[in-house]
Structure 1
Amino acid sequence: MSIARRLAALALTLMVTAACANTDDAEGRPWAEGETALPAFPQDSDLLPFYVSAATSNRFFIDAKSLSAGSDGVVRYVVVIKTSGGATNVTFEGIRCDAREYKLYATGRYDRTWGPLLAGQWRPIEYKDRNRHHSVLSRNFFCPNGVRIGSADEGRDALRRGKHPAADHELWQDSEGAP
């Protein structure tokens, strides 16, 4: 087979793969994100800690009240990151387990209000040495074995346990090859 034909076949395969990645497998329709409302700003009493890595001194929390498993396949939550220097970062985010992507919906302001992002985009979840909370949330809590949790209670239970029970049997790796 000539190089031109091989490239054409590869291009066709990539287009089909991309089209399939953005469809609802059960219905065969294109995936569509549901409406997203900003949650109440988190209270310290509702924060559930989760471990990210020994490579960071930051502390990570999920606001238990904000956690949801949407009918559109997106797990939405507020993450609070407290740095060793005393700063606190608050973001409202979502994870698509089937596509291994995350999205920022809003950032928290100092006055405890939300600053919505005007053009939040879905981005791939990548393994990072530092502050890899998207990868950890996906693998260990919200998408064990690549399957989305069925409810917010299931996610809160996984956070309280320190890991989703099904995450002990991971069969997949992230985009950088890390388990």
Structure 2
Amino acid sequence: MKRFFSVFFSLFLASNASAGLFADEDPDAPKWEEETPQLPGFPKEADLREFFVSATTPHRYFIDTASLSVGKDGVVRYTLVVHTRGGVTNITYEGLRCATGQFKIYATGHTDGRWVMARQSAWRPIENNPTYRHHAALSHDYFCPIGNPIATPEEGREALRLGKHPSVN
């Protein structure tokens, strides 16, 4: 039940933030500006750490721990590797914006080891539905505990190693 309310609250914040309902209190405060991400090296099997999404998902989800970073803009960036039940592997370089409950796909990985920039790279709300449940899990359980981004990549790697961030109940 606690997890339900946490996910519900995250979704509420994300939907209202994207709708512009939470305007900056101070009009003179600096506006958030996204850093230009640098694409990481292609993931190596030895750097992949599996994480739990749900008991009902047929896929296996991994983070390339070597790609994990936290920008000065507060965005947690990582390479996601998904092995589907059908034997397909999907690789994406993504970001989580914890403050607004959003995610963004920057690039997709191809089997020949190269990155291709995403055609539509926009911030989208994190939704706890079957298609994007992994973003909700990454945000809530690993990289955005209590709605705040992890401070360092090491903190994120430790959360993955433990199976959840220590501050998540």
Q: TM-score range, shorter-chain basis?
A: 0.7 to 0.9
State the Cα deviation string for residues 75-112 of structure 1 (Å, max 9, x = none).
00000000111110000000000000000000011211
Q: Are 2:59 and 1:58 equivalent residues in the alignment?
A: yes
Other-structure match for 1:102 = 103
Distance 1:32 1:81 in 2: 29
Give the structure, 1 or 2, with the largest relative contact order (CA under 8 Å, sep 6 or more).
2
Contact 1:53 1:130 in 2 (8 A): no
Q: Write out per-residue CA displacement over residues 109-142 of structure 1, whole angstroms, 9 at most, x where no aligned residue.
A: 1211101114400000011135510000000000
Name segments (4+ residues, structure 1) moved above 6 Å: none
Structure 1 residues 62, 132: closer, same or farther in 2, change over 3 A?
A: same
Would you say the 8 A contact 1:52–1:131 is kept in 2? no
1:149 aligns with 2:153: no
> What is the aligned partner in structure 1 of residue 164 from structure 2?
163
Q: Report percent identity of matched pairs.
A: 48
Secondary structure at the aligned position of 2:46 is classed as: helix
The unaligned stretches of length 5 or more in structure 1 are: 1-13, 169-179
Q: Secondary structure at the match of 2:129?
A: coil
TM-score (norm 1): 0.79
Q: Which consecutive residues of structure 2, in runs of 5 or more, have no partner in the other structure?
A: 1-17
Query: Paired residues, what number?
Result: 151
**Which AA in structure 1 matches 2:145?**
P
Q: Which amino acid aligns with 2:45?
A: D
Contact 1:56 1:130 (8 Å CA) reproduced: no
Q: Which residue of 2 aligns with 1:112?
A: 113
Q: Deviations over 1:148-178 (max 9, x none)?
A: 100000000000000001111xxxxxxxxxx
Q: Partner residue of 2:136?
A: 135
Give distance in 2, aligned partners of 1:36 and 1:15.
25
Corresponding residue number in structure 1 for 2:74:
73
CA distance in 2, matches of 1:33, 1:139: 21
Contact 1:97 1:146 in 2 (8 A): yes
1:38 paired residue number: 39
How far the C-alpha of 1:16 sits from its partner, in A, is 6.8
